[in-house]
C-alpha cells in the first residue's frame, strides 16, 4: 500500500502559500519553525481489511523562508478533509 502527499506551492509579493493534501495523516501532522525553515511532518498507520499487518508511513517536508518573512504571522490550518494550508506572509 502506498501513501503519497500532494502539495501545491504558490508565491506572490505578499505571501507564500503551501497547500498539502494530507488526508492519510489527518490528526497526525505537525508544523513547526526551525530557524529559517517551516518543517511539516506526519505519520499514519493503516491495517488492510481490519486484519493482517499494520502498515506505518510518514512524510516530511521543509520550506525555506524568504528573508522578508513575517515570522510571527505564519499560520497553518488543517481542514476536516485533510487539507493543510500554510500561509507565510511577506513584508513585500
pLDDT digits (tens, 9 = 90+) for 6-48: 889 999 999 999 999 988 887 789 999 999 999 999 988 877 7
Answer whether residue 68 shows pLDDT above 70: yes
Whether the CB-CB separation of 53 and 40 falls below 8 Å is answered with no
CATH of the domain at 73: 2.60.40.790
State how far the Cα of 50 lies from the Cα of 21, in Å rounded to an integer.
24
In a domain, residue 11? The reply is yes
Whole-model pTM: value is: 0.83
Q: Write the CA distances from 36 to 16, 32, 51, 65, 67, integer angstroms.
A: 14, 11, 43, 5, 8
Check residue 48 and give its pLDDT.
Answer: 76
Sequence-distant (≥ 6) Cβ neighbours of residue 26 within 8 angstroms: 78, 82
- Three-state DSSP class for 48? helix
By percentage, how much of the chain surpasses pLDDT 70? 93
Domain membership flag for residue 75: yes
Q: How many domains does the chain have?
A: 1
Instruction: Note down the domain range covering 54.
Output: 6-89
Contacts of 49 (CB under 8 A, 6+ apart): none
The per-residue pLDDT of the chain, averaged, comes to 87
pLDDT of residue 4: 57
Using the predicted structure, report yes or no on whether residue 56 has a pLDDT greater than 70.
yes
Q: Is 1 part of a structural domain of the chain?
A: no
Amino acid at each position: 500500500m502506498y501513501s503519497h502527499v500532494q502539495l501545491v506551492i504558490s508565491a506572490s509579493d505578499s505571501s507564500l502559500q503551501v497547500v498539502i493534501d494530507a488526508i492519510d495523516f489527518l490528526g497526525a501532522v505537525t508544523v513547526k519553525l526551525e530557524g529559517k525553515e517551516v518543517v511539516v511532518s506526519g505519520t499514519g498507520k493503516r491495517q488492510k481489511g481490519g486484519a493482517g499487518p499494520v502498515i506505518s508511513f510518514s512524510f516530511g517536508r521543509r520550506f525555506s523562508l524568504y528573508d522578508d518573512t513575517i515570522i510571527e504571522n505564519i499560520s497553518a490550518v488543517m481542514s476536516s478533509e485533510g487539507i493543510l494550508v500554510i500561509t507565510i506572509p511577506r513584508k513585500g
